[in-house]
Amino acid sequence: MKRSLPFVLSILMVLLLVPYPAAAGGPASSEKRVVLTIGDNDSRSGSRYNENLGLWQYLANLVGVEIRYVYMSDDDYDAGLSSGDLPDIVATSKNLSRILENGVALDADPYLKKYCPNLLKGDARKTYDVFKQLGNEGDGFYFFPSKIGYNGVGYDNESSARGYVVRWDYYKELGYPPINNEDDYLNVLLQMHEKHPFTEEGYPTYLYGTDNFSGYDTAFRAELSLDYWAPYKYQNNIFSNEVYDGYADPAHSMWWASMEWENKLYRAGKEDGSYDMELFTQTLEQFDAKVCRGQYLGIHASKGGLYKNKVKTDPDTLAGYNTVPTSATNYYTNVYQLLGNGPGFMWFISANTPHKKEALKLLNYMYDPDFVRELTLGRRGETWDYDADGVPRMNEYGREQLDAYKAGSTDPENYFVKWGSFDKMPSNWPLLRDNSSHPDGYSVDFATITREYKAATMSNNISKDICEHYGVELPTEAFYEAGGMDFRNDCGEAISSCTSSLNREQLRILSEADAILQDIEVDLVLAETDEKWEAIRDRAIRELVELGEPQVFKAYQKMWNDAADVIVPMVRQMQIKNGVTPYTPEEYADHSGDGTVEAPAAPEESADSPGDGTVEAPAAPEESADSPGDGTAEAPAAPEESADTPGDGMEGQEP
């Protein structure tokens, strides 16, 4: 099989786990059930899995199984890949090439029509078709990606989590000054610090905080417009889908841009102590504590801890973090994820399972828009039903229970506290998204994904302040009216899910390239002059060129372009079908990432160069979490935000 797209597909199988035969919708409780095991090697799932929720009991009964969920350590997972002794279903983002090489995944293709027909219908069918178009004739179907459909819609009662993020109460105090570029942003942060060198509780404030230097902030700025979620440091422009070398091309690199931004902050704040030198050494818990105390005047992404703390004692507070509406940043929404949420998050059925029929049946429900609607809004007849005209509507009880749940109710008798909901699903579980189209012509979630519902249920003070100041109904409208653009053109996550594995030598080169950049990170941030910063940069790029990294990128770029030729037209077709018109080159001309720094020329490539794209890759090496080797891993962790992330006026979407 063509390892070139290993990872293209995904059947959705959400983790179920319930040994509760009493739930309605399936075989009688006295019936002896098959025990279906689900092994999860991705820690992003376990913390959000709750076997007591009614929806999982319901699904287990529909399939007629008892579900057992286990978390697999990397050692357990690696041993299973070698021996073939695996759970019935496995969720992972690691070693996808090795799964195919070792033959441990079931080729589900011969069984789909009979046991998983929903994969061959609607939006899910497009995912299947991509796999077939990119594969060789006769290739099977092995992988099932997570959450096919739209990640975010273009209207919401919360604004983007990424961009020029400020402490909103201080920003309002300054009179909402416009932020149209990085220099404007820095000036606003300096003004805030002049007025507030300490928090109300006496803690020192700092210009800016971040929990990583990967470029999570700079990627979303208009001058770069990069898709953060990509393997290695090879990111694409979200409008043109052209891929760039983020190692040796500083003009198109979110990492180099992040280093430049941090250096600018350091030089602005070194004299008065407003640059937080503990950013290099503090733990994530210490960083989060400063965020919750409001010590950072700007941060790399909106987090909700400060607002949640303050609103408990001041119901009218505006203390919290929010992104400034501006055309200078891009809004992560309207993203059609043809191959699911982020490159590499895949599920497969074990080739050795004695329960392939049950596994496929479970996945079939996860692709069923009727089931996903019930998962999201409760069971038909209990919380909602169709009216005489065939329109799906919540009943009075369902609406009351859903509104209370969305408002944060923890009442153990609340229907949705007991049942669960789509927004509690881990981001790597196979599933149609709740905003997918249902065959009845309405959204799967017809109740809450509407402009009217978003406006009526907006409770966040910062969101309300944005609407009042900018004269809009929803915060997202302020962003669009300021000239902001979203990710509707972006196909990066799907394309990177389909690129071939790099070979052992190429992976070695990229590992050394990462080490070169990591070694100069602190030196770049603390450089005292532009000349010193540029000297460090130029020396590092020469090392990267001598190492051969640009040749590796050349090979990767060819694989990228081959996949893009198939995927980009399909995503564009889906966007137009759904009424989301892609941006034209004229519209995104100012967001094309036309930086000014020129990297040194790459050396001539010899015939046996590690990056010439012609050398047959040897067997994939064992991959550590730090050195992915399957062409899809390890992308930066998609922002399945922590529980305290959403809540102060920004979206809690995952990528």
User: Average pLDDT for residues 213-235, to the nearest whole number?
Assistant: 90
> pLDDT tens-digit profile of 607-630?
344 444 333 333 333 333 333 333
Kindly report, residue by residue over 354-383, the tens digit of the pLDDT.
999 999 999 999 889 999 999 899 999 999
The pLDDT value recorded for residue 648 is 38
**pTM for the model:** 0.81
Half-sphere exposure of 332 toward its Cβ, with a 13 Å CA cutoff? 29
Alpha-carbon distance values, 445 to 22, 362, 372, 402, 563 (Å):
27, 21, 9, 12, 32
Q: Distance between CA atoms of 635 and 628, rounded to whole angstroms?
A: 9
Question: Residue 151: is its pLDDT beyond 90?
Answer: no
Average pLDDT score over residue span 590-606: 48
Q: Are 338 and 432 in contact, with CB atoms under 8 Å apart? A: no
- Percent of the chain exceeding pLDDT 90 equals 59
* Average model confidence (pLDDT) across the chain: 83
Q: How confident is the model at residue 600 (pLDDT cuts 50, 70, 90)?
A: very low
Q: Helix, strand or coil for residue 30? A: coil
CA-to-CA dists, residue 609 to 509, 560, 604, 614, 629, angstroms = 12, 19, 9, 9, 18
Identify the pLDDT of residue 5.
Answer: 40
- In tens, the pLDDT along 311-347 reads 999 999 999 999 999 999 999 889 888 887 766 678 8
In this prediction, residue 93 carries a pLDDT of 76
Calpha distance 448→457 (Å, rounded): 9
Task: Classify each residue of 410-449 as buried b or exposed e, where b means 16 or more C-beta atoms within 10 Å of its C-beta.
Answer: eeeeebbbebbbbeebbbbbbbbbbbbbbeeebbbbbbbb
What pLDDT shows up at residue 85?
95
**Band of the pLDDT at 229, cuts 50, 70, 90?**
confident
Domain boundaries, the chain: 1-368+455-597+610-655, 372-454
Q: How many CB atoms lie within 10 A of CB 571?
A: 25
Torsion sign, CA atoms 118, 122, 124, 126 = positive
Q: State residue 262's pLDDT score.
A: 97
Confirm if 244 and 253 have CB atoms less than 8 A apart.
yes
Q: Can you spell out the DSSP letters for 231-258?
A: STT--BBTTT--B--TTT-GGG-HHHHH
User: What pLDDT is stored for residue 244 in this prediction?
Assistant: 97
Q: What is the pLDDT of residues 465-485, one digit of tens each?
A: 999 999 999 999 999 999 999
pLDDT higher than 90, residue 493: no
* Residue partners of 187: CB distance under 8 A and separation at least 6: 177
For residue 617, what pLDDT is reported? Answer: 31
pLDDT at position 241 is 95
pLDDT of the residue at 136: 66
37-46, 87-96, 127-136 — most confident range: 87-96
Distance CA 586, CA 147 (A): 32
Band of the pLDDT at 101, cuts 50, 70, 90?
confident
What is the predicted pLDDT for the residue at 32? 85
Residue 118 has pLDDT above 90, yes or no: yes
Q: Each residue of 516-569: pLDDT tens digit?
A: 999 999 999 999 999 999 999 999 999 999 999 999 999 999 999 999 999 999
Is 74 or 399 the better-scoring residue by pLDDT? Answer: 399
Put residue 203 in one of left, alpha, beta given phi > 0 → left and psi -120 to 50 → alpha.
Answer: beta
- Domain spanning 1-368+455-597+610-655 has what CATH number? 3.40.190.10
pLDDT value of position 597:
40
Q: What is the rounded radius of gyration, in angstroms, for the C-alpha atoms of the chain? A: 25
Has residue 642 got a pLDDT over 70? no
Assess whether the previous peptide bond of 634 is cis (omega < 30° from 0).
yes
Closest CA to 423 of 400, 448, 441, 399: 448
Asked if residue 636 has pLDDT above 60, the reply is: no
According to the model, what pLDDT value does residue 161 have?
A: 81
**pLDDT for residue 22 is more than 60:** no
pLDDT value, residue 127 = 86
Element (H, E) at 267: helix 254-269
